[in-house]
Structure 1
């Protein structure tokens, strides 16, 4: 379709009478009901974590004599835990800790996975080695991988980041590799080769931009997976060291008191649900728009 024909078919702006410029697919996806709802939920959780020092009236490790106080207790809107620590403060700082972990781990896994995919795209031997490395990582379930890493390094923030990054490396690597192989067979790549364009330029200027869209969707999905991995590791006691709060650690601490103080677990459960739902809706909106 020529530029003139495309402009004639484009919808007209009601104010100027000129053809509207098509919106970027990412902006269009986030403008849908799913996208707005997902961004709203994620934004609320992120804002709560960022403003934790201002919103929390107590420190996350400050203890008092009010053990297992219920919601609405003066000075403790969500109550206290079994050690008299303010649940609101621990919840907000737990969000902050989780966001810090996934904000480092997921991009790290994505970058390393994409770099390995690019290495695999250069030479068949490199491709074989990289794919076998991916198979090795994927052979370990997430829980076994977490236990293996913490058995070597011990519990803490760094092992959690490492486990999440290791789990995401083969996911992003295989996704980008598949995209590169698909785009290599397209006619525009053949035309670029015939025109004398170098292989490196074809890869960076033509193939990668067209193979990158699925990575954006996967990034949103991987953030969701990272929340679960951190929560599971902290729940099992192999995550961030106490008394530093995370959502998984607060939920694990609440389990023995579910019958006696159900409010203890309500905060982290609602927060994790909102965060995961928001990320899932955002990923679904992006995926639907990109597949159009």
Structure 2
């Protein structure tokens, strides 16, 4: 039931983002004279922001922007992490090098990493993708490396080696299929983390360049108006909550399945 609820929540948010051009009644940057109009204003179901831009349109296009970033960043981080894990499994010296690389990445707090990347590249989509990908490399790399080390000691691996299978063949055909199961759970967890990272970077003004909306940037713009226009923050807050809750429920369900 929880997995189903999670899928419904995530599916609804993803569908809203994908259909943004068809669901939004206005462009995300179109301005009107209706500054901070309330919920239910004709033509603006969620109201407008401080510049008279339709909030429904900005939330929908914000979802679309976030999904595009996350859909690139998490697979890139996962792929690089897994490649590092395979390199670590190949030779003890490489293992030491890879572990130090992971330690180096983890030594930087997420905010410092985001500020450093943005200082070099400037704000935009690419820095957000890079920060998320870098943050995910140690998570996937350490998880797969640990799985490989555990599976390498199993009896079926010893039997395969005795049977004449080469090292790479044993790794690909026997070890990886069993070591990779937890990665499915990590993907769901990493998607949740990616939502927070993108939101935090946009909230702090070091993410996607305005006026292009993201959920984090819309939320950031609403902060000065919370008292007089609470509806300004409601859309992005509810959307992020639904997305994070849905992904968490999916991750929990996947974790139970993997542990069986």
With structure 2 as the length reference, what TM-score do the two structures score?
A: 1.00
The offset of 1:217, in angstroms, is 0.1
Match of 1:202, SS state, is: helix
In the alignment, structure 1 residue 178 sits paired with structure 2 residue 116: no
Q: Distance in 2 between matches of 1:176 and 1:128?
A: 15
* Residues 252-291 of structure 1: pairs in structure 2 closer than 5 A: 252-291=220-259
Cα offsets for 1:34-71 (capped at 9, x unmatched)? 11011000000000000000000000000000000001
Q: Distance in 1 between matches of 2:79 and 2:4?
A: 27
* Residues 235-254 of structure 1: pairs in structure 2 closer than 5 A: 235-254=203-222
Q: Distance in 1 between matches of 2:34 and 2:133?
A: 40
Q: Distance in 1 between matches of 2:57 and 2:79?
A: 34
Q: Distance in 2 between matches of 1:184 and 1:80?
A: 58
Match of 1:145, SS state, is: helix
* Residues 25-174 of structure 1: pairs in structure 2 closer than 5 A: 33-174=1-142
Q: Distance in 1 between matches of 2:212 and 2:2?
A: 34
Q: Distance in 2 between matches of 1:147 and 1:123?
A: 35
The offset of 1:290, in angstroms, is 1.0
Q: Distance in 1 between matches of 2:122 and 2:146?
A: 36
Q: Distance in 1 between matches of 2:259 and 2:91?
A: 30
Q: Distance in 2 between matches of 1:63 and 1:98?
A: 22
State which of 149, 166, 175 in structure 2 corresponds to 1:198: 166
**Alpha-carbon RMSD:** 0.4
Q: Distance in 2 between matches of 1:282 and 1:274?
A: 12
Match of 1:229, SS state, is: helix
Cα offsets for 1:6-32 (capped at 9, x unmatched)? xxxxxxxxxxxxxxxxxxxxxxxxxxx
Q: Give the number of equivalent residue pairs.
A: 260
More helix by share: 2
The offset of 1:215, in angstroms, is 0.3
Q: Distance in 2 between matches of 1:118 and 1:63?
A: 51
User: Which has the higher Rg, Structure 1 or Structure 2?
Assistant: 1
Q: Which segments of structure 1 move beyond 3 Å, counting only runs of 4 or more?
A: none
- The residue that corresponds to 1:16 in the other structure is none
